[in-house]
A and B are shown apart, each in its own frame.
Chain A
Protein backbone atom coordinates (compact mmCIF):
# COMPACT_ATOMS: atom_id res chain seq x y z
CA UNK A 1 0.00 0.00 0.00
CA UNK A 2 1.59 3.25 -1.13
CA UNK A 3 0.35 5.98 1.20
CA UNK A 4 3.25 8.45 0.83
CA UNK A 5 3.22 11.08 -1.91
CA UNK A 6 5.52 9.91 -4.70
CA UNK A 7 7.19 11.54 -7.69
CA UNK A 8 4.83 9.66 -10.01
CA UNK A 9 1.91 11.55 -8.47
CA UNK A 10 3.19 14.76 -10.05
CA UNK A 11 2.87 12.93 -13.37
CA UNK A 12 -0.77 12.14 -12.52
CA UNK A 13 -1.46 15.82 -11.79
CA UNK A 14 0.40 16.84 -14.96
CA UNK A 15 -1.67 14.40 -16.98
CA UNK A 16 -4.92 15.95 -15.72
CA UNK A 17 -3.63 19.49 -16.41
CA UNK A 18 -2.68 18.50 -19.98
CA UNK A 19 -6.10 16.95 -20.52
CA UNK A 20 -7.77 20.10 -19.20
CA UNK A 21 -5.73 22.29 -21.56
CA UNK A 22 -6.50 20.00 -24.52
CA UNK A 23 -10.25 20.14 -23.80
CA UNK A 24 -10.11 23.93 -23.30
CA UNK A 25 -8.40 24.34 -26.70
CA UNK A 26 -10.96 22.11 -28.37
CA UNK A 27 -13.82 24.22 -27.03
CA UNK A 28 -12.09 27.61 -27.27
CA UNK A 29 -14.96 30.12 -27.00
CA UNK A 30 -15.41 33.11 -29.26
CA UNK A 31 -12.60 32.33 -31.68
CA UNK A 32 -13.74 34.40 -34.60
CA UNK A 33 -17.20 35.90 -34.27
CA UNK A 34 -18.90 38.56 -32.23
CA UNK A 35 -21.74 37.41 -30.04
CA UNK A 36 -25.08 38.17 -31.69
CA UNK A 37 -27.75 36.23 -29.86
CA UNK A 38 -28.64 33.29 -27.71
CA UNK A 39 -30.29 29.99 -28.53
CA UNK A 40 -32.35 28.30 -25.85
CA UNK A 41 -32.56 24.51 -25.99
CA UNK A 42 -34.96 22.45 -23.91
CA UNK A 43 -34.32 18.69 -23.92
CA UNK A 44 -32.08 19.17 -26.97
CA UNK A 45 -34.76 21.03 -28.97
CA UNK A 46 -34.33 24.69 -29.99
CA UNK A 47 -37.29 26.50 -28.42
CA UNK A 48 -36.30 30.17 -28.68
CA UNK A 49 -33.72 32.48 -30.23
CA UNK A 50 -33.13 35.90 -28.70
CA UNK A 51 -30.87 38.77 -29.86
CA UNK A 52 -28.31 40.02 -27.33
CA UNK A 53 -28.75 43.61 -28.53
CA UNK A 54 -32.15 44.11 -26.92
CA UNK A 55 -33.05 43.32 -23.32
CA UNK A 56 -35.76 40.81 -22.60
CA UNK A 57 -36.60 37.62 -20.78
CA UNK A 58 -38.02 34.21 -21.56
CA UNK A 59 -39.46 31.52 -19.33
CA UNK A 60 -39.01 27.81 -19.95
CA UNK A 61 -41.38 25.47 -18.16
CA UNK A 62 -40.42 21.80 -17.95
CA UNK A 63 -39.82 19.65 -14.90
CA UNK A 64 -38.74 22.95 -13.36
CA UNK A 65 -39.11 26.58 -14.36
CA UNK A 66 -36.18 28.69 -15.57
CA UNK A 67 -36.26 32.42 -16.32
CA UNK A 68 -33.63 33.49 -18.86
CA UNK A 69 -32.83 37.19 -18.96
CA UNK A 70 -30.89 39.14 -21.59
CA UNK A 71 -29.59 42.40 -20.19
CA UNK A 72 -26.86 44.78 -21.38
CA UNK A 73 -25.49 42.37 -23.99
CA UNK A 74 -25.13 39.34 -21.74
CA UNK A 75 -27.45 36.52 -20.77
CA UNK A 76 -28.09 34.87 -17.42
CA UNK A 77 -30.58 32.51 -15.81
CA UNK A 78 -32.12 34.80 -13.23
CA UNK A 79 -34.56 32.44 -11.63
CA UNK A 80 -34.93 28.69 -11.24
CA UNK A 81 -36.89 26.47 -8.90
CA UNK A 82 -34.59 23.48 -9.39
CA UNK A 83 -32.96 22.14 -6.21
CA UNK A 84 -29.30 22.88 -7.05
CA UNK A 85 -29.65 26.39 -8.56
CA UNK A 86 -26.30 25.81 -10.31
CA UNK A 87 -27.56 27.61 -13.40
CA UNK A 88 -28.35 30.78 -11.44
CA UNK A 89 -24.97 30.61 -9.69
CA UNK A 90 -23.24 30.30 -13.06
CA UNK A 91 -23.70 34.05 -13.54
CA UNK A 92 -24.02 35.83 -16.87
CA UNK A 93 -22.19 35.04 -20.12
CA UNK A 94 -21.65 36.86 -23.40
CA UNK A 95 -18.83 35.07 -25.33
CA UNK A 96 -19.65 32.98 -28.40
CA UNK A 97 -19.62 29.27 -27.64
CA UNK A 98 -20.22 29.66 -23.92
CA UNK A 99 -23.36 28.12 -22.52
CA UNK A 100 -25.48 28.06 -19.39
CA UNK A 101 -26.93 24.73 -18.34
CA UNK A 102 -29.73 23.65 -16.00
CA UNK A 103 -29.35 19.88 -15.90
CA UNK A 104 -32.46 19.08 -13.82
CA UNK A 105 -34.63 20.87 -16.36
CA UNK A 106 -32.68 19.75 -19.46
CA UNK A 107 -32.08 23.40 -20.41
CA UNK A 108 -29.16 24.86 -22.31
CA UNK A 109 -28.64 28.51 -23.22
CA UNK A 110 -25.98 28.93 -25.89
CA UNK A 111 -24.39 32.17 -27.13
CA UNK A 112 -24.12 32.20 -30.92
CA UNK A 113 -22.21 34.37 -33.37
CA UNK A 114 -23.39 36.65 -36.17
CA UNK A 115 -23.16 34.36 -39.18
CA UNK A 116 -24.32 30.89 -38.44
CA UNK A 117 -21.97 28.96 -40.74
CA UNK A 118 -20.75 25.62 -39.51
CA UNK A 119 -17.46 25.57 -37.58
CA UNK A 120 -17.09 21.84 -37.33
CA UNK A 121 -19.32 18.82 -37.37
CA UNK A 122 -18.95 16.16 -34.71
CA UNK A 123 -20.19 12.61 -35.02
Chain B
Protein backbone atom coordinates (compact mmCIF):
# COMPACT_ATOMS: atom_id res chain seq x y z
CA UNK B 1 0.00 0.00 0.00
CA UNK B 2 2.76 2.42 0.91
CA UNK B 3 4.22 2.00 -2.54
CA UNK B 4 0.99 3.06 -4.24
CA UNK B 5 0.85 6.10 -2.01
CA UNK B 6 4.42 7.06 -2.74
CA UNK B 7 3.84 6.39 -6.40
CA UNK B 8 1.02 8.89 -6.56
CA UNK B 9 2.73 11.36 -4.33
CA UNK B 10 6.04 11.25 -6.12
CA UNK B 11 6.57 14.35 -8.22
CA UNK B 12 6.40 14.01 -11.99
CA UNK B 13 9.94 15.27 -12.40
CA UNK B 14 11.32 12.78 -9.94
CA UNK B 15 9.43 9.95 -11.61
CA UNK B 16 10.73 11.01 -15.03
CA UNK B 17 14.30 11.15 -13.74
CA UNK B 18 14.00 7.74 -12.11
CA UNK B 19 12.59 6.23 -15.29
CA UNK B 20 15.45 7.73 -17.33
CA UNK B 21 18.03 6.30 -14.92
CA UNK B 22 16.37 2.88 -15.02
CA UNK B 23 16.22 2.90 -18.86
CA UNK B 24 19.95 3.57 -19.08
CA UNK B 25 20.63 0.93 -16.43
CA UNK B 26 18.59 -1.63 -18.38
CA UNK B 27 20.40 -0.71 -21.63
CA UNK B 28 23.80 -1.04 -19.98
CA UNK B 29 22.88 -4.42 -18.49
CA UNK B 30 21.56 -5.83 -21.75
CA UNK B 31 24.73 -4.64 -23.52
CA UNK B 32 26.94 -6.16 -20.80
CA UNK B 33 25.07 -9.41 -21.11
CA UNK B 34 26.42 -9.98 -24.63
CA UNK B 35 29.86 -10.53 -23.15
CA UNK B 36 28.68 -13.31 -20.83
CA UNK B 37 29.31 -16.55 -22.73
CA UNK B 38 26.15 -18.32 -21.49
CA UNK B 39 25.82 -19.79 -25.01
CA UNK B 40 28.85 -21.99 -24.33
CA UNK B 41 27.05 -23.46 -21.31
CA UNK B 42 23.67 -23.84 -23.04
CA UNK B 43 24.18 -23.96 -26.82
CA UNK B 44 20.77 -22.70 -27.90
CA UNK B 45 19.90 -19.56 -29.85
CA UNK B 46 18.24 -16.87 -27.77
CA UNK B 47 19.46 -18.09 -24.38
CA UNK B 48 20.45 -15.21 -22.14
CA UNK B 49 20.33 -14.31 -18.46
CA UNK B 50 17.87 -11.46 -18.94
CA UNK B 51 19.76 -9.02 -16.72
CA UNK B 52 17.61 -6.16 -18.01
CA UNK B 53 14.65 -7.97 -16.49
CA UNK B 54 16.03 -7.09 -13.05
CA UNK B 55 15.36 -3.44 -13.90
CA UNK B 56 11.88 -4.29 -15.18
CA UNK B 57 11.15 -6.10 -11.91
CA UNK B 58 12.38 -3.19 -9.80
CA UNK B 59 10.37 -0.70 -11.84
CA UNK B 60 7.25 -2.87 -11.65
CA UNK B 61 7.44 -3.34 -7.89
CA UNK B 62 8.50 0.19 -6.96
CA UNK B 63 6.91 2.42 -9.59
CA UNK B 64 3.97 0.35 -10.86
CA UNK B 65 3.03 -1.11 -14.22
CA UNK B 66 2.67 2.20 -16.09
CA UNK B 67 6.24 3.29 -15.43
CA UNK B 68 7.51 -0.24 -16.03
CA UNK B 69 6.01 -0.16 -19.55
CA UNK B 70 7.42 3.33 -20.04
CA UNK B 71 10.87 1.90 -19.28
CA UNK B 72 10.53 -1.32 -21.29
CA UNK B 73 9.48 0.12 -24.67
CA UNK B 74 12.21 2.81 -25.00
CA UNK B 75 14.76 0.28 -23.78
CA UNK B 76 13.83 -2.14 -26.58
CA UNK B 77 13.85 0.60 -29.23
CA UNK B 78 17.19 2.01 -28.10
CA UNK B 79 18.61 -1.51 -27.81
CA UNK B 80 17.70 -2.02 -31.48
CA UNK B 81 19.39 1.25 -32.45
CA UNK B 82 22.55 0.31 -30.53
CA UNK B 83 23.00 -3.05 -32.22
CA UNK B 84 19.97 -5.34 -32.20
CA UNK B 85 18.56 -4.21 -35.53
CA UNK B 86 14.96 -4.60 -36.67
CA UNK B 87 15.00 -8.38 -36.16
CA UNK B 88 16.27 -7.83 -32.63
CA UNK B 89 13.50 -5.31 -32.01
CA UNK B 90 10.81 -7.80 -33.09
CA UNK B 91 12.19 -10.35 -30.65
CA UNK B 92 12.77 -8.06 -27.70
CA UNK B 93 9.42 -6.29 -28.05
CA UNK B 94 7.25 -9.41 -28.39
CA UNK B 95 9.19 -11.17 -25.65
CA UNK B 96 9.35 -8.11 -23.42
CA UNK B 97 5.71 -7.07 -23.75
CA UNK B 98 4.44 -10.61 -23.18
CA UNK B 99 6.72 -11.03 -20.15
CA UNK B 100 5.64 -7.66 -18.75
CA UNK B 101 1.92 -8.44 -19.16
CA UNK B 102 2.36 -11.76 -17.35
CA UNK B 103 4.38 -10.12 -14.56
CA UNK B 104 1.81 -7.33 -14.09
CA UNK B 105 -0.81 -10.04 -13.53
CA UNK B 106 1.42 -12.19 -11.30
CA UNK B 107 2.30 -9.30 -9.01
CA UNK B 108 -1.40 -9.04 -8.17
CA UNK B 109 -1.76 -12.76 -7.39
CA UNK B 110 -1.10 -13.10 -3.65
CA UNK B 111 0.43 -16.60 -3.72
CA UNK B 112 3.34 -15.53 -5.96
CA UNK B 113 6.32 -13.62 -4.58
CA UNK B 114 8.81 -11.75 -6.78
CA UNK B 115 10.49 -15.13 -7.49
CA UNK B 116 7.39 -16.71 -9.02
CA UNK B 117 6.65 -13.49 -10.91
CA UNK B 118 10.18 -13.45 -12.32
CA UNK B 119 10.11 -17.13 -13.38
CA UNK B 120 6.75 -16.76 -15.13
CA UNK B 121 7.95 -13.54 -16.75
CA UNK B 122 11.09 -15.27 -18.06
CA UNK B 123 8.95 -18.15 -19.39
CA UNK B 124 6.59 -15.70 -21.11
CA UNK B 125 9.63 -13.98 -22.65
CA UNK B 126 10.71 -17.32 -24.17
CA UNK B 127 7.21 -17.95 -25.50
CA UNK B 128 7.13 -14.46 -27.07
CA UNK B 129 10.51 -14.94 -28.72
CA UNK B 130 9.55 -18.32 -30.17
CA UNK B 131 6.29 -16.85 -31.49
CA UNK B 132 8.28 -14.07 -33.17
CA UNK B 133 10.69 -16.67 -34.57
CA UNK B 134 7.79 -18.74 -35.93
CA UNK B 135 6.44 -15.70 -37.77
CA UNK B 136 9.85 -14.52 -39.02
CA UNK B 137 11.06 -17.97 -40.07
CA UNK B 138 7.64 -18.97 -41.41
CA UNK B 139 8.04 -22.35 -39.73
CA UNK B 140 6.33 -24.09 -36.81
CA UNK B 141 9.34 -26.37 -36.31
CA UNK B 142 11.17 -23.60 -34.45
CA UNK B 143 8.66 -24.32 -31.65
CA UNK B 144 10.68 -27.42 -30.77
CA UNK B 145 13.20 -25.07 -29.13
CA UNK B 146 10.57 -23.76 -26.72
CA UNK B 147 10.81 -26.64 -24.24
CA UNK B 148 14.56 -26.12 -23.88
CA UNK B 149 14.14 -22.37 -23.50
CA UNK B 150 11.41 -22.86 -20.87
CA UNK B 151 13.68 -25.12 -18.79
CA UNK B 152 16.46 -22.54 -18.97
CA UNK B 153 14.04 -19.75 -18.09
CA UNK B 154 13.28 -21.35 -14.70
CA UNK B 155 16.92 -20.85 -13.71
CA UNK B 156 17.38 -17.43 -15.30
CA UNK B 157 14.05 -16.31 -13.79
CA UNK B 158 15.14 -17.41 -10.32
CA UNK B 159 18.48 -15.64 -10.80
CA UNK B 160 16.93 -12.32 -11.85
CA UNK B 161 14.27 -12.71 -9.14
CA UNK B 162 16.98 -13.16 -6.51
CA UNK B 163 18.85 -10.10 -7.76
CA UNK B 164 15.64 -8.03 -7.91
CA UNK B 165 14.59 -9.09 -4.41
CA UNK B 166 18.03 -8.18 -3.06
CA UNK B 167 17.98 -4.73 -4.63
CA UNK B 168 14.39 -4.05 -3.54
CA UNK B 169 15.09 -5.09 0.07
CA UNK B 170 17.78 -2.42 0.26
CA UNK B 171 16.00 0.25 -1.81
CA UNK B 172 12.76 0.22 0.15
CA UNK B 173 14.67 1.15 3.30
CA UNK B 174 16.13 4.28 1.67
CA UNK B 175 14.30 7.56 1.09
CA UNK B 176 15.23 7.53 -2.59
CA UNK B 177 11.62 6.77 -3.52
CA UNK B 178 10.10 9.40 -1.26
CA UNK B 179 9.03 12.75 -2.72
Contact = CB atoms under 8 A, between A and B. Distances in A.
B113 A103 contact: no
Interface stretch (A23-31, A49-57, A66-74): A23-31
Interface residues of A, number: 44
B36 interface: no
B123 to A, nearest CB: 5
B87 A90 contact: no
Interface string A19-59: 11101101101000000000001011000000000000000
**B-side interface mostly:** helix
Nearest to B91: A103
A98 to B, nearest CB: 7
Contacts of B43: 86, 89-91
A13 to B, nearest CB: 6
Interface stretch (B71-79, B92-100, B141-149): B141-149
Interface centre among A12, A15, A89, A106 (most CB of B within 10 A): A12
Contacts of B111: 6-8, 11
Query: Contact size class for B?
Result: 35 or more
B32 interface: no
Interface string B45-58: 11000000000000
Given A99-B142, A108-B142, A3 B137 contact: no
Nearest to A45: B138
A44 B137 contact: yes
A13 B154 contact: yes
Nearest to A16: B123
A58 B158 CA distance: 41
Closest 10 CB pairs of A and B: A8-B111, A44-B138, A12-B116, A9-B116, A86-B45, A27-B144, A20-B150, A24-B147, A2-B113, A23-B147
